[in-house]
Amino acid sequence: MKKMITAAALFLCCIAASAQIASRFPGLSVGGYGEVAMTRNFYSDNVYRYSHPDNYRNDPGHGRFDIPHAVIYLGYDFGKGWSMQTEIEFEHTGTGSSVEKEYTEAGEWESEIEKGGEVELEQFWIQKSFFPQLNVRMGHLVVPVGGLNNAHEPLNFFTVYRPEGEFTILPSTWHDTGISIWGKAGAWRYEALLVAGLDAFMFDRDNFVHGAAGSPYEFKVANNYGFAARIDNTSIRNLRLSLSGYYGNSMHNSFPNDMRGTRYGEVKGRTAIGAFDFAYRGKYLIVRGNADAGIVSDAVTISTVKRNLTSNNAPYKKTPVGKAAVAAGTEAGYDVLHLICPATEDKLFLFGRYEYYDPYIPAADQQDYPYTDKHRIALGLNWFPILQIAVKCEWSKRWLKSQYNNEPSVSIGVAYMGFFNK
C-alpha cells in the first residue's frame, strides 16, 4: 500500500509540474492515460489447478485490485520539422520488481526484474519530418505489430484489461530502441522499423514471445536485429484495415553471448509474426478485431538450452517454447444511451468480445499442454460521461479443454486518456 501511495503521489506531481511548464511553452504537449481496475475471479489460483484440476474444482475465488498503467506523455515541437516524444509509464504501481509462483517448478517463488526500475520509459524518440510521406524517428519506439500495440490506450478497447489474446502472445506495449521510417499518402499509412531483436531465452510456454522484447539488464542486448512493418488503409469510410509483421533471429541475443563455437552456435531461432487488425467506428457502432500468428524455428533446441544450459538463477523461465502461437478476437459495442436520451452527449456502449488464443502450439516431438488452448468471452458496459473518461464493467469467462475448470470473473474499472494542456 505504501508503494502504491508513493507511486500515485509521484505520478500526480509529474502531471502537475508538466502541465505548469507546458502552459509557458506553446510547443510542449502534455497528456497521458491511466487505468484502475478491480476483479473478482471465481476459480482457484492454486499453482496445481491445471495439473490436478479435479482437486480445485470447488475452491473459493480470489480478488485483485490493480493499476495496470498510468502514463504521462511529453512532446515538443522544435520547429523546422524537428520534434520529440516521450512516454513515461508507471506499471502496476511501478514497483520495478515482482514475485510470482512458478507453475512448473513445484510452486516455487520466483523474482522477476523489470527493466527501468520504478519508472519505465516506454517511448523516447526524436523525429525529423520532411513531408507527410516521409518522416524519420530514432530512439525508443513503439513497435506497432498487432492491433493492441498500435492502439494500446484504454479507450481503444472495451474490456477492463487489455485484450487477452494479443496481450498474451505479443509484447505489450511492444517498445524497443531503433529507427523508424513512416509516412502518409491519401488513404494509406506505412511504417518500417529496425529494432533490437527478440531474445529467445525470454520465450515462454504460457506467453510465447510476450516478455522477449524486454531486458533484465541495464541495457538491451542487440546481437541480432529485428525488422517490423505496418500498413494501414482507410479508403472505406469509418473503417481502418491493417497488416503488420515482424521478422528476426532470436537465438544468441542474450547476455553473455557464450554459445558461439558450441554445437548450438549455428541455431538461429528465426521468429516471424504476422497480424491483421481492423477498426470500424460509426456514429453509434464500434467494431474491432484482430488475427495474429507467430512461428519460431528451432523451438525444440531453444527449449532444451533454456531448460538445461542456463543457470538456475538466470533471469529466464525454464518452460519450453512452442513452434507457433495464435490469437484472434473481435469486439463490438453499440451506444444504447442515444435510444433513451437522444439529446445527451454521454455514451453508454453495450459490448461483447470473443477471442481464441493459444501461446503454445508444440512441435511434433514436444510435450503438449492442452490448458494453453483458451476461448474467452466478455460482456459488459462502457459509460463515457465525457470523451476522455470511461467507466467499465464486464463479466467474462474462459473456456478451456474439457478436463480443466472454466474461469469466470467480474471486473470493473475506470480509465482516462487525453491531453492536459489543450
Q: Give alpha helix (H) positions in 123-265.
A: 147-150, 164-169
- Asked if the model's pLDDT at residue 326 lies above 60, the reply is yes
pTM score: 0.88
| Residue 168, C-alpha cell as written in the block | 498474451
- Asked if the model's pLDDT at residue 269 lies above 60, the reply is yes
Rg (CA), the chain: 22
Whether the Cβ atoms of residue 399 and residue 422 lie closer than 8 Å to each other: no
Amino acid making up residue 282: G
What is the average pLDDT score of the chain? 89
**65-79, 107-121, 129-143, 408-422: range with highest mean pLDDT:** 129-143
Q: How far apart are CA 100 and CA 111, in angstroms?
A: 7
Neighbours of 344 (CB within 10 A): 11
CATH topology of domain 2-419: Porin (2.40.160)
pLDDT band at 90 (very low <50, low <70, confident <90, very high): confident
Per-residue pLDDT averaged across 181-198, rounded?
Answer: 97
Task: Return the DSSP state at 4.
Answer: H
- Asked if the model's pLDDT at residue 110 lies above 70, the reply is no
The phi, psi pair for 70, rounded to 5°, reads: -140, 115
pLDDT band at 115 (very low <50, low <70, confident <90, very high): very low
Q: How far apart are CA 173 and CA 143, in angstroms?
A: 8
Q: What is the pLDDT of residue 22?
A: 54
Q: Where are the domains of the chain?
A: 2-419
- Asked if the model's pLDDT at residue 153 lies above 70, the reply is yes
pLDDT band at 117 (very low <50, low <70, confident <90, very high): very low
Q: What is the pLDDT of residue 116?
A: 36
Per-residue pLDDT averaged across 136-161, rounded?
Answer: 97
